[in-house]
Amino acid sequence: MCILINGFVGTKLLLSNPQIEILTVVEMLAVFAVYTIVNFAQIRKDINDRKNAKKKLVYTARVKRLIAWNFVLFILLYASFIAPSLYNYEGVTNLALLNVLTNMNAIMAHVYYSIFIALIPFNVLLANYLAWPTEMGINDRFIKQAKRKLKKKDYKNLIRIGITGSYGKTSTKFILKTILSEKYNVLATPESYNTTMGNVRVIREQLKPEHEVFISEMGARYRRDIAEICDFVRPQYSMITSIGPQHLETFKSIDNIIKTKADIINTMEADGVVFLPKDNEHCKKLYNKETREKYSYSLKSKDADVYAENIVLDENGSNFVAVTSIGKINCSTKLLGEHNIENILGCIAIAVKLELSAEQIEAGVKKIEPVPHRLQILNNNNGTIVIDDAFNSNPVGAKMAIDVLGKFKGRKIVITPGMVELGKEEKNENRKFGKHMASVVDIAILVGQKRSEPIVEGLKQGKFDEMNIFVVQDLKSATAKLAEISRVGDVILFENDLPDSYNE
Amino acid sequence: MLKFVITVFSMVLEYLPWIIYMLCTPRIIHFFQMEGYKTADYTRWLGRNLKTAFGPGIKQLLAVRSDGLDVYFD
């Protein structure tokens, strides 16, 4: 506030100072005006970018606190720049920026002004460090509230199910919710909420005593993430959908991924029940080691507790027979891809354990709707079929998506930037993806010059016609290219749409 | 009159860095939010997106030369 008042006083004093030539002030104002134009052009661009962003900035309480911390940092920065230039004019200590600038070399003033903007990324980081104790305190309070709520006698009989996995978590959660809703009042974490605070928020704000089942999706990017969520959710039923090379960049090794995912089982009470897919080699190892009550499910192995028979996959969905301990269940679903059948089998295993009848399960499976952006068929009026698999970014899912595309008739077009966050394996996986693509796809539109290099290599290895490879700079150019080349009857797969924070 | 205009402009421009700084901050906070508020993820993002993160500051530094406004400098 002192600086603010001083600024006004200083400006007035500056202009009444006979020692400063009016021309100098005019020059400085002109320089400032140029900076302002440049800055506002940038700000306008920023606002437009944010408006068009796939994931918009949400002004949460945390963001507001972060902005406040940034403002504090700016004041400190501002004052620290001004402080050395303090001078006393007619007995008033003056902090006015213009006063300092008019005594500076103009180039220095230019640097000085630019520094404020250039330092923002560092200031955000610093602000986060400053805010860290407060944020930790707030988070801790919310976690404790969620914990206390779940311990209340209103929730004594609440069935808690935890779902984790390298991929397939969100789809499995929605499938399970749909099936279990045939018998129970179910609450599941919405959308892709799978962080600690996401789960906490749902428990605090949405969980009601009338809910009979709570399904928690647990995501992880770091070693202790799952254990942290399990600490307050305390699932009685746990399911790992898959273990694979996802987020290798932060996990560093597949061993760390296995340990992290296994935390969902290891943190359970002795009477907890575990559900694992037998077709995943890492999950199979966990299954063999597990001493708690356990159930397996499989697409391929008839040794599993729940498995599929007579699988028929086509462009309209899938039909199969689920073999369970309560008998064979005819399943028909709109979901595309074999991996979704595997997810359904896992959910059926849980449903059987929770005593749903075969009829209820059959009815539940029929009601499953595709999860947005996960092999979702979109209605298109121009005679083309669009498969939106934008939220998929793992090697298994990407391969499956190409296989699903292969089930369709018509010319097949893929738009993809490839997969990310696979660490050292990223190039190799993208190369394999390209090679697999070559066997199914007719036209490949690849987003990002550098990013798509390994995919192009893979396509070439698969003897793909180079004339049908188009590399574009961004998604906007990709859709423009698509509009140019697509025709009636084409099937277009959008495979993995990178978030706004990913650039070449 | 000229002095009055200059006074008003000076007052406004005096605080422009404050305003611009606060208007530019959400851009970076948006990326910070997309990285899940995790410092490690954000610093990794910073390392990989130097142009996006520091571009406006650098643009600012280079603006005068490109706009041919050297005339205003000593």
Q: What are residue A240's phi and psi, to 5 degrees?
A: -110, 115
Give chain A's radius of gyration (CA, Å).
Answer: 29
Q: Express each pLDDT in B17-38 by its tens digit.
A: 677 778 888 888 888 888 888 8
Residue with tokens 């074999």: A338
Residue type for A463, please? K
A-chain residues near B71 (CB < 8 A)? none
Which tokens in the block code for residue A469? Answer: 């490879």
Asked if A38 has any chain B CB less than 8 Å from its own CB, the reply is yes
CA distance A492 to A377: 10
What pLDDT band is residue B61 in, cutting at 50, 70 and 90?
Answer: low
Residue type for B35, please? E
Give the pLDDT confidence score for residue B50 in this predicted structure. 83
Mean pLDDT computed over every residue of chain B: 70
Residue with tokens 């809703």: A181
CA distance B59 to A317: 52
- Which one of B10, B21, B44 has the shortest CB-CB distance to A116? B21
Domain ranges of chain A: 2-130, 154-366, 376-495
Inter-chain Cβ pairs, chain A and chain B, closer than 8 A:
183
Asked if A371 and A337 count as a contact pair (C-beta separation under 8 A), the reply is no
Residue type for A117, please? I
Mean pLDDT of A135-159: 91
When comparing pLDDT for A497 and A402, which is higher?
Answer: A402
CATH architecture of A376-495: Alpha-Beta Complex (3.90)
Residue with tokens 């990178």: A498
Strand A412-416 versus strand A443-447 pairing type: parallel
At residue A177, does pLDDT exceed 90? Answer: yes
CA distance A179 to A174: 9
When comparing pLDDT for A279 and A110, which is higher?
Answer: A279
Q: Is the dihedral of CA A409, A414, A420, A424 positive or negative?
A: positive
Mean pLDDT computed over every residue of chain A: 82
Shortest CA distance from A30: residue in chain B: B72
Is the CB of B34 less than 8 angstroms away from the CB of A500?
Answer: yes
B-chain residues near A57 (CB < 8 A)? 26, 29-30, 33
A-chain residues near B74 (CB < 8 A)? 105-107
When comparing pLDDT for A3 and A451, which is higher?
Answer: A451
What pLDDT band is residue A462 in, cutting at 50, 70 and 90?
Answer: confident
Q: What superfamily does domain A154-366 belong to in CATH?
A: Mur-like, catalytic domain (3.40.1190.10)
3-state class of A285 per DSSP? helix
When comparing pLDDT for A275 and A313, which is higher?
Answer: A275
Shortest CA distance from B21: residue in chain A: A117
3-state class of A162 per DSSP? strand
Is the CB of A36 less than 8 angstroms away from the CB of B20?
Answer: yes
DSSP states of A194-217: -SHHHHHHHHHHT--TT--EEEEE
Asked if A72 has any chain B CB less than 8 Å from its own CB, the reply is no
Spatial CA neighbour of A226 closest among A212, A205, A240: A240
- Which one of B24, B63, B72 has the shortest CB-CB distance to A120? B24
3-state class of A411 per DSSP? coil
Give the pLDDT confidence score for residue A185 in this predicted structure. 94
Asked if A418 and A449 count as a contact pair (C-beta separation under 8 A), the reply is no
B-chain residues near A420 (CB < 8 A)? none
B-chain residues near A26 (CB < 8 A)? 6
What is the longest distance spanned by two Cα atoms in chain B?
A: 55
Give the pLDDT confidence score for residue A110 in this predicted structure. 57
What pLDDT band is residue A90 in, cutting at 50, 70 and 90?
Answer: very low
Residue type for A246, please? Q
Which tokens in the block code for residue A211? Answer: 């809910």
Query: How far is the CA of A71 from the CAs of A86, A195, B20, in angstroms?
Result: 22, 28, 11
3-state class of A188 per DSSP? strand
At residue A83, does pLDDT exceed 90? Answer: no
What pLDDT band is residue A5 in, cutting at 50, 70 and 90?
Answer: very low
At residue A150, does pLDDT exceed 50? Answer: yes
At residue A170, does pLDDT exceed 50? Answer: yes
Q: Express each pLDDT in A115-137 by its tens digit.
A: 777 788 888 889 889 888 999 99
CA distance A397 to A391: 10
Q: Is the dihedral of CA A116, A121, A126, A132 positive or negative?
A: positive
Q: For chain A, give the percent of residues with pLDDT over 90.
A: 28
Query: How far is the CA of A502 from the CAs of A184, A261, A356, in angstroms?
Result: 41, 26, 44
Which tokens in the block code for residue A383? Answer: 């005679």
Residue with tokens 């305390």: A234
- Which one of A4, A110, A113 has the shortest CB-CB distance to B17? A113
Among A152-166, A294-308, A485-499, which is the least confidently predicted range? A485-499
β-sheet bridge partners, residue A377:
A387
Asked if B20 and A25 count as a contact pair (C-beta separation under 8 A), the reply is no
Asked if A475 and A454 count as a contact pair (C-beta separation under 8 A), the reply is no
User: Side-chain half-sphere of A276: how many Cα atoms within 13 Å?
Assistant: 24
Q: Express each pLDDT in A317-361 by its tens digit.
A: 889 999 999 989 999 998 888 888 999 999 999 999 999 999 999
Beta strands in A351-447 (DSSP E): 376-378, 385-389, 412-416, 443-447
Q: Express each pLDDT in A242-295 by its tens digit.
A: 888 777 778 778 888 888 888 898 888 888 999 999 988 889 888 888 888 999
Give the pLDDT confidence score for residue A337 in this predicted structure. 81
What pLDDT band is residue A79 in, cutting at 50, 70 and 90?
Answer: low
Domain ranges of chain B: 36-74
Mean pLDDT of A352-376: 90
* H helix runs in A244-315, sequence order: 248-251, 254-266, 281-289
DSSP states of A244-258: -S-SHHHH-SHHHHH
Strand A186-188 versus strand A159-164 pairing type: unpaired
Q: For chain A, give the percent of residues with pLDDT over 70.
A: 83
